[in-house]
């Protein structure tokens, strides 16, 4: 096969790796991506011409495209996501383990000739600001121009990355194919290419730091800088190198006096993470700016501060439910220069989805390409996991520090889940070890809308990392505990929040959204050793007057506030038994310090 442009590097190991995979996959040619706007525009034009993409109305959505994926290829595929660690115990009880030798044999068979009739794109990308000492470099090879375009939004791509890599720098090798070779003269005919479900593999090799993906062209299965590198492979890199790769938002919080603090937060899905990252405060004089909405990489600086970068350069957001009411900043972010996938198309060339905040303007074309008449057609016009890929620099509240290579100093960690009962609105950990205990027990309560036979049960998602930690989570907890022992470390304060407490008749006790800034104010104050609090069995909790309710007194009564900030002893005693069951999964890999925290909590609740 031929090189379609000049090879832009003298990195012998990299060039040999690309050529080795090209020999196996047999593409028509190899193209090295440079990350320029001209390249992005050319690829987009080619996908429009081939009918894989639809160009949206330039006046309504400038420089934006719509794609429709195959109905079998609409989300991350957990059942086809594998952790090929050296042995099953290393992967731990929470991962889908598979033998690495057998898996590589199987996948090499699938890769043989898989790129026939297609171009192999080589994408040099940086996770984090190029040249940052916290950043990492990956190289993804793919036969999907859709993947290239999305990666050029979500990461920093091109020759500047190769310049930092040099002639012998370290990179994470990422291999991807849609798994649908083309015969001579054949084309996709505008149909999304992918392989059948039983041929899809998203494989991670922790020891060799490799990612192999086959058969899916969608989202985190194919954009290998996203969850695969930024969390899964980075989790083992962070463990071995003494830093942290976390599924966390990063926000900048400024008080009316101009004082700044940086807060990160880990939340399971459907808990308002992106909304919090782009929150518009209802408290006068307060300001929230976005550093990152999904992932935080953190290292200690020479002064002991834990500094965080957002390793991504864009937002890969869920469209349904996003509106000018729920998240106006996300709506502005995707108003231009955006790739939409599996949303509906309006008659005038704009996009629409359920929960966008206004009725559909007439007939639509749904995410499957069929005519859709609101109120008459069955199903949803947009897929529930429909996405927008938008550039972070288009976010109106992006913090000026978001690309600072040094990162931002983290003052507080927030952990939280969707808990209608038991957990209070907010409380602060008693120590770092107690904070790790809180993070290790994060979960969300199952409601009737999810799985009816599990109502009231709590699905645990420790640190919101359950799908993303590729090694034994007992050892992951240990890594968190060891971070707290670093000499001279100025550790962030740790808090648990719960915006989702309800009354017995199902009414939310707290309004959420912009009013969550009132809780952030208390967090801000506690980081400075201020903020009124009561010491309780579960941690430091605000007094009933510590959280500013000015303007929402009619929504949140004194009785509501008391309910939000009272320790539910009976509920917590039930919680203890659930935590014990959760911890039992980790056997002797559960750190003794966490068992001790559980015992201490039980003793405090018994008093």
Whole-number Cα distances in Å, 7 to 10, 440, 491: 8, 46, 45
Contact 502, 508 (CB under 8 A): yes
Q: Which of 332, 356, 347, 383 is CA-nearest to residue 219? A: 383
**Residue 601: is its pLDDT beyond 70?**
yes
- Percent of the chain with pLDDT strictly greater than 90: 95
Question: Is residue 158 within 8 Å of 9, Cβ to Cβ?
Answer: no
pLDDT tens readout for residues 13-22: 999 999 999 9
Q: State the Cα–Cα distance between residues 489 and 300, nearest whole angstrom.
A: 8
Strands 81-83 and 201-205: parallel
As annotated, the active-site residues are: 271
Q: Is the pLDDT of residue 456 over 90?
A: no
Is pLDDT at 159 greater than 60 in this prediction?
Answer: yes
Check residue 607 and give its pLDDT. Answer: 87
DSSP strands (E only) in 333-477: 339-341, 344-346, 351-352, 364-365, 371-372, 387-391, 408-416, 426-428, 443-445, 458-460
- Mark out the alpha helices in 223-304 (DSSP H runs): 234-241, 273-277
Instruction: Tell me if 547 sits within 8 A of 541, measured CB to CB.
Output: no
Using DSSP, state whether 375 is helix, strand or coil.
coil
Q: Which residues pair with 535 in a beta bridge?
A: 540
**Per residue in 565-586, pLDDT tens?**
999 999 999 999 999 999 999 9
Task: Give the pLDDT score at 23.
Answer: 98
Provide the b/e sequence for 326-361 (b: ≥16 CB within 10 Å): bbbbbbbbbbbbbbbbbbbbbeebbbbbbebeeebe
pLDDT value at 450 more than 50: no
Residue 180, pLDDT above cutoff 50: yes
pTM value > 0.85: yes
User: How high is the mean pLDDT of the chain?
Assistant: 96
Answer for the pair 142, 148: CB distance below 8 angstroms, yes or no: yes
> What pLDDT is attached to residue 446?
66
Q: Contact 445/457 with Cβ under 8 angstroms?
A: yes
Task: Judge whether residue 45 has pLDDT over 80.
Answer: yes
Q: In the chain, what is the straight-line distance between the N-terminal and C-terminal CA atoms, in Å?
A: 74
Residue 271's pLDDT is: 85
**pLDDT-based confidence at 448, cuts 50/70/90?**
very low
Question: 156 and 35 in contact (C-beta within 8 Å)?
Answer: yes
**CA pair distance 331, 40, nearest whole angstrom:** 22
256, 254, 236: which is closest to 244 by C-alpha? 236
* pLDDT digit string, tens, across residues 371-413: 999 999 999 999 999 999 999 999 999 999 999 999 999 999 9
The per-residue pLDDT for 124 is 98
Kindly give the interhelix angle for 592-606 and 473-483, rounded to the nearest 10 degrees. 80
Assigned fold of 2-51+77-241: Phosphoenolpyruvate Carboxykinase; domain 1 (3.40.449)
Helices (H) and strands (E) in the chain, counts: 16, 31
Which pLDDT score is estimated for 126? 98
Dist CA 419 CA 428 (whole Å): 17
pLDDT band at 449 (very low <50, low <70, confident <90, very high): very low
Closest CA to 249 of 262, 266, 225: 266
How would residue 46 be classed by pLDDT, with cut points 50, 70 and 90?
very high
- Please, which pLDDT band fits residue 454 given cuts at 50, 70 and 90? low
Q: What is the pLDDT of residue 458?
A: 86
pLDDT category at 77 given cuts 50, 70, 90 is: confident
CA 118 to chain centre: 30
CA angle 247, 432, 571 (to 5 degrees): 80
- Segment 526-562, tens digit of pLDDT: 999 999 999 999 999 999 999 999 999 999 999 999 9
For 197-229, the pLDDT digits (tens) are 999 999 999 999 999 999 999 999 999 999 999
Give me the pLDDT at residue 203, please. Answer: 98
Fold (CATH) for 246-313+400-606:
Phosphoenolpyruvate Carboxykinase; domain 3 (3.90.228)
For 314-394, CATH number out of 3.40.30.10, 3.90.1150.110, 2.170.8.10, 2.60.120.260 equals 2.170.8.10
**pLDDT over 70 at 453, yes or no:** no
Q: Where are the domains of the chain?
A: 2-51+77-241, 246-313+400-606, 314-394
């Amino acid at each position: 096969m031929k090189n379609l442009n000049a090879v832009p590097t003298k990195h012998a190991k990299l060039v040999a790796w690309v050529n080795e995979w090209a020999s196996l996959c047999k593409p028509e040619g190899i193209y090295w991506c440079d990350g320029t706007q001209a390249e992005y525009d050319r690829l987009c034009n080619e996908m429009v011409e081939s009918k894989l993409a639809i160009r949206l109305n330039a006046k309504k959505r400038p420089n934006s495209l719509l794609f429709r994926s195959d109905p079998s290829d609409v989300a991350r595929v957990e059942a086809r996501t594998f952790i090929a660690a050296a042995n099953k115990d290393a992967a731990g009880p929470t991962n889908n383990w598979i033998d690495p030798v057998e898996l590589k044999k199987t996948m090499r068979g699938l890769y043989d000739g898989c790129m026939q009739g297609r171009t192999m794109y080589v994408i040099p990308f940086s996770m984090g600001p190029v040249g940052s000492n916290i950043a990492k470099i990956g190289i993804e090879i793919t036969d999907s121009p859709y993947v290239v375009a999305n990666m050029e939004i979500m990461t920093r791509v091109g020759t500047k990355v190769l310049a930092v890599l040099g002639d012998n720098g370290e990179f994470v090798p990422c291999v991807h194919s849609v798994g649908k070779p083309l015969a001579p003269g054949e084309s996709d005919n505008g149909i999304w290419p992918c392989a059948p479900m039983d041929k899809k593999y998203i494989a991670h090799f922790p020891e060799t730091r490799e990612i192999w993906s086959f058969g899916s062209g969608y989202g985190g299965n194919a954009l290998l800088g996203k969850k695969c590198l930024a969390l899964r492979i980075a989790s083992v890199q962070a463990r071995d190198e003494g830093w942290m790769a976390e599924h966390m938002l990063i926000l900048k919080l400024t008080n009316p006096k101009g004082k700044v603090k940086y807060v990160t937060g880990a939340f399971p899905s459907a808990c308002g993470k992106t909304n919090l990252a782009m929150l518009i405060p209802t408290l006068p004089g307060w300001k929230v700016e976005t550093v990152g909405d999904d992932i935080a990489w953190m290292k200690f600086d020479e002064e002991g501060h834990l500094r965080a970068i957002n390793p991504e350069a864009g937002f890969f957001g869920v469209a349904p439910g996003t509106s000018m009411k729920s998240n106006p900043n996300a709506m502005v972010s995707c108003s231009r220069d955006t790739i939409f996938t599996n949303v509906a198309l309006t008659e005038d060339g704009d996009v629409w989805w359920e929960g966008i905040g206004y009725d559909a303007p007439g007939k639509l074309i749904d995410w499957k390409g069929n005519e859709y008449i609101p109120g008459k057609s069955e199903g949803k016009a947009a897929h529930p996991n429909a996405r927008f890929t938008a550039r972070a620099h288009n976010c109106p509240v992006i913090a000026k520090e978001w690309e600072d290579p040094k990162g931002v100093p983290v003052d507080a960690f927030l952990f939280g889940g969707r808990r209608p009962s038991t957990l209070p609105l907010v409380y602060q950990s008693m120590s770092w070890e107690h904070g790790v205990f809180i993070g290790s027990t994060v979960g969300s309560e199952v409601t009737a809308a999810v799985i009816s036979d599990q109502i009231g049960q709590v699905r645990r998602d420790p640190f919101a990392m359950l799908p993303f930690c590729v090694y034994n989570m007992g050892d992951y907890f240990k890594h968190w505990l060891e971070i707290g022992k670093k000499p001279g470390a100025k550790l962030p304060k740790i808090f648990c929040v719960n915006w989702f407490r309800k009354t017995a008749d199902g009414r939310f006790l707290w309004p959420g959204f912009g009013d969550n800034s009132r809780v952030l104010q208390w967090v801000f104050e506690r980081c400075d050793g201020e903020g009124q609090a009561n010491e309780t069995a579960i941690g430091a909790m605000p007094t009933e007057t510590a959280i500013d309710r000015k303007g929402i007194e009619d929504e949140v009564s004194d009785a509501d506030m008391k309910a939000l900030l009272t320790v539910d002893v009976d509920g917590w005693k039930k919680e203890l038994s659930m935590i014990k069951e959760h911890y039992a999964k980790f056997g002797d890999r559960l750190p003794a310090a966490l068992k001790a925290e559980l015992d201490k909590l039980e003793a405090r609740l018994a008093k």
